[in-house]
Amino acid sequence: MESRMSRLIRLCNGKSMPLVGLGTWQMTNPQQDQLALEQALNVGYRHVDTAYKYENEELVGNAMKKWVDAGKGKREDLFVVTKLPWIGMQADKVDHFINLSLSKLQTEYIDLYLVHWPFGMNYRGDDNVAPKKDNGDLDLDLTTDLLAVWKAMERQVDAGKAKAIGISNFNSQQIERVMKIARVQPANLQVNDVKCNYYNLNGDAILHFLILKMYSLLWQVELHTYFQQTELRQTCKKYGITVTAYGPLGSPGRGNAKERYIPALMEDKLVVSLASKYNKTPSQVLLRYLTQLDITVIPKSSNLTRMSQNLNIFDFELTPDELDEMTKLDKGEDGRSFREFPSAKIHPEYPFPY
């Protein structure tokens, strides 16, 4: 039974977010990826991470509807994350874009609505999620007001369209600014070993889930063993903000998106050694390391075997010494994989140090 457990982080609104979710970036194939999303729900995923920018919210919505209509579960059994796009980074556009996401996802509410990036682009009234100028540079909206956007996000909670809100790809200074004016504050209330009930795929057996912590504001960012985001995690801890790691396996499929060589994380000698010790895959070791730090992970995969493996990480535990050794693998900024949008560096809210 332990291997089927999915540990949760409970939010102050009473909802619980599974520590392991399915990342869906680049999943846009209406046949192959639609099937993968359906399979993910069938093998036990209850946390799905999408975004308006990914242009796959309709696929996610179709998979959820098919799963619910088949009687395999209820909408409230699922935790759905989507994000406000660059082109929606004006306070008066937030309502418009969350409504579009709600329609595409075929749902009345979003469990967690994130500000995807702290900088905005000019909205042209069409479906172009990353508009560019004639010279190929991003068409940036240099007037982005993060605090006004955050207040508009809070109004989505008031309206019941979002159960919780959060931020993605913000730096420590931007988080501090938001927290100074935030009306939807983190609860800073922690509970341990609290159990709740959840139905399995057939609805005929009950599994127990361990709820780790209670938070209301969430933060999503690239984070993995080679890039552990220590300073940002300290800022989040200060405010009781829970952290979700995208790219938790080091983004092995990104190829030419990297500007320089970064060693393959899943081939690291320590990771491979621990995988052998626990009879697990390197991916499972990497995900277990982060979840033992109470970090939510959203690995992306459309392969049924790997999806199942990524979910099945709670039947072993790294020792304190092993956790320390994994922590020592951090390469700081040299481990960062996501280094896109060079033309966005001129934006006053560009969040990165490069």
Cite the annotated binding site for substrate by residue number. 116
Longest dimension (CA), the chain: 59
3-class SS shares of the chain: helix, strand, coil, % to 5? 40, 20, 40
Contact 242, 230 (CB under 8 A): no
Contact 53, 86 (CB under 8 A): yes
Contact 291, 282 (CB under 8 A): no
- The residues assigned a catalytic role are 54
Give the separation between CA 242 and CA 18, rounded to whole angstroms.
Answer: 12
- CA proximity to 283, closest of 262, 259, 308: 308
Contact 174, 146 (CB under 8 A): yes
Contact 221, 245 (CB under 8 A): yes
- DSSP letters, 139-172, are -EETT--HHHHHHHHHHHHHTTSBS-EEEES--H
How far CA 276 is from CA of 13, 304, 323, in Å, comes to 40, 22, 16
**Any alpha helices (H) in 261-342, and if so which ranges?**
269-278, 282-292, 304-311, 320-327
Please list, residue by residue across 64-100, b when 16 or more beta carbons sit within 10 angstroms of its beta carbon and e when fewer do: beebbeeebbeeeebbbbbbbbbbbbbbebbeebbeb
Binding site members? 116
Please name the residues in contact with 64: beta carbons below 8 A apart, sequence gap of 6 or more. Answer: 41, 48, 75, 78, 80, 105, 106, 107
* Structure tokens that stand for 318 in this block: 């790294």
Contact 164, 111 (CB under 8 A): yes
